[in-house]
Chain A
Amino acid sequence: MSEIQVPTNGMEVVWEKPKTLTDTRMHYCPGCGHGVVHKVLMEVIADLGIQDKTIGVAPVGCSVISYNYMNIDMQEAAHGRATAVATGIKRVLPDKLVFTYQGDGDLAAIGTAETIHACNRGENFLIIFINNAIYGMTGGQMAPTSLLGMVTSTTPEGRQVETQGFPIKITEMVATLPGTYYITRQSVHNPTAVRYLKKAVEKAFKHQLDKKGTCLIEVVSNCPSGWKMNPVEANKWLEQNMFPMYSPGDIKIEGKLVEKKPTTTPDKKETKL
């Protein structure tokens, strides 16, 4: 794919793409959160000067070829196995920095065992968890995090507790494990949220440099194509429907659970999508 040429006409350069992002044009749908999260992640790696010692693990899902965009050494894992692959890498290269980048199906459905046990061992790497409550790549099927009542291609009448169970809050689950050190939920639906995410990613890499244990950042994201909305509608829907279930903010800081008001517990209230 060709490099995007932007005429500068003598304008002052105020922002440059970090050298940690390749020139390959991303394949993500318009409005998708993946591109923003990639950018934030790679900016932090550039800012911290750790490009030469960071190894990423790509998942199966929409971000399966994220290694085409991230200008670092990477491994592409089988579906759900990213944290096992990352364990293999980190254990033999303990002084390198390792992260996984996984979606909700990858991390919280097929990879649940690997996720929980990597966190329980306190594997010293960062897990980036993109939660958009849907399977984007395969065409919009139900995810383990899909909201109750949410219409997907495999829940055409909305997700029902009786047949599909409750949306899973795996981030809160792993926060209870002593192996995890920093657990937070962020989003990328507006510029403020993006800046918060960047701070969180920075913090997590610093913890990894200090060998503190597992850090997990959930990014509540969107899927305009899967949700069948335009990007603006999708971000609005995210705030109104995703946040009550997946409330943004820190869940565990420096190995201690953050005291806060209980978030909405799932009930049979239907979410219209």
Chain B
Amino acid sequence: MSEIRLMKGNEATAEASIRAGCDAYFGYPITPQSEIIEYLSDQGRKRGMIVMQVESEVAAINMIYGAAGAGARAMTTSSSPGISLMQEGISYIACAELPCLLMNVNRGGPGLGTIQPSQGDYFQSVKGGGHGDYHLIVLAPASVQEMADFVYLGFDLADKYRNPVLLLTDGALGQMMEKVIFPDYDPKAHKLPKPWATVGKNSNRPPNVITSLHLHSDEMEKINLRLQEKYRKIEANEVRYELMNTEGADVVMIAYGLTARICQRVIELGMQSGLNVGLMRPITLYPYPYEILAKLSEQVNGFFVVEMNAGQMVEDVRLGVNGKVPVGFYGRMGGVIPTAEEILHSLQLFMKSIAVKEKV
């Protein structure tokens, strides 16, 4: 039965993971996401989940490898420095094609950085992070509700494509409290059979082996080609985004997660000062919604990208726009959350620079 609760984003993710039938959680505390392991240590254990606080993020991600390889729905969560530690394991998981759910509650970096929210891990999340040619499916929630909803979606996509899925969120979404609805979800109806899992060999089949090692280059290339074929399928089927006020807009802002929430306010403020701006919010950061950008490029005078970093997603926007119209950027770093007013100011300068007149 569906249920309405008032919760922090981190808690909503934890609660959703229990409802999504996550069998095992392995993690290591790090601010600003420790509520997840705390919530699961209580609620998860009481409701039958294996929940372990382990010696490091390195150990945690390799336990995910083992558990996912044994057929379980497995999840770990961390924040930026911890996610960096996991990159080796994530690369192995991607190559061995193990379905699992990861979440990065992004904080400011580089280094130990700050515990304040950031979007500085975009490149790490969508362009690799670990070694080799691989992709995670990356979902970017923009509300506490989506921090819950994307847990179900994430596990389902992971199982469907045998691919690790990353929820990329930030410290503000993890810590903020909002209303969240938990829908009916029957894990049994969603979990797919995993005949490849290592659960003990029976006499009717050859041994199942989970590995990312293929010493001969022709064999390894076959694995690479299979992965790439899967990524093309994901790119064709799983692009998700949200459009707001793009119909007839002069300029469309592009922002994901927390900054997309702030940009909704910028649309309102813009209207008050006679600006006609819209918003395209990517929900999947990989696969990236390039196509809608190409389409919008035919209709608008420019795009304006807002991020809490030095300009990372803006590179993907430029790829999608392909030089057809100007692309502006506004970013804050170091854990600073930009205000709607400062974004509007920067947007106005951009619009002036590309000669879009305010309609007063």
- A residues in contact (CB < 8 Å) with B: 51-55, 57-58, 64-65, 67, 70-78, 81, 84-93, 96, 113-114, 117
Contact = CB atoms under 8 A, between A and B. Distances in A.
Contact of B66 (A67, A71, A88): A88
Given A52-B203, A96-B200, A113 B69 contact: no
A77 B58 CA distance: 12
Contacts of B208: 73-74
6 contacts: A64-B213, A71-B201, A74-B198, A85-B62, A88-B62, A88-B65
Interface string B41-71: 0000000001010111011101111111111
Nearest to A73: B198
B70 A88 contact: yes
Nearest to A93: B70
A67 B200 contact: no
B54 A117 contact: yes
A73 B62 contact: no
Contacts of A65: 213, 215
Contacts of B199: 55, 73, 93, 96
B277 interface: no
B211 interface: yes
Contacts of B60: 84
Contacts of A70: 207
B88 interface: yes
Interface of B: 23-24, 26, 50, 52, 54-56, 58-60, 62-72, 74, 88-89, 92, 96, 198-203, 207-213, 215
8 closest residue pairs by CB, A with B = A88-B66, A84-B62, A88-B63, A76-B211, A88-B67, A73-B198, A85-B66, A81-B62
A88 B211 contact: no
A117 B54 CA distance: 8
A52 B68 CA distance: 19
Contacts of B201: 51-52, 71-73
Nearest to B66: A88
A75 B209 CA distance: 6
Contacts of A78: 62, 65, 88-89, 92
B259 to A, nearest CB: 35
A92 B67 contact: yes
Contacts of A85: 62-63, 65-66, 69
B203 A73 contact: no
A74 B200 CA distance: 9
B203 A88 contact: no
B67 A67 contact: no
Given A52-B201, A92-B70, A113-B55, A76 B213 contact: yes
B200 A73 contact: yes
Given A88-B74, A92-B50, A93-B70, A55 B200 contact: yes
A238 B44 CA distance: 50
Contact of B212 (A72, A76, A87, A114): A76
Given A65-B213, A84-B59, A75 B66 contact: yes
Nearest to A86: B66
Contact of A88 (B56, B64, B88, B96): B64
A81 B89 contact: yes
Contacts of B67: 88-89, 91-92
B198 A89 contact: yes
Nearest to B215: A65
A77 B50 contact: no
Nearest to B23: A92
A91 B63 contact: yes
B207 A71 contact: yes
Contacts of A113: 55-56, 58-59
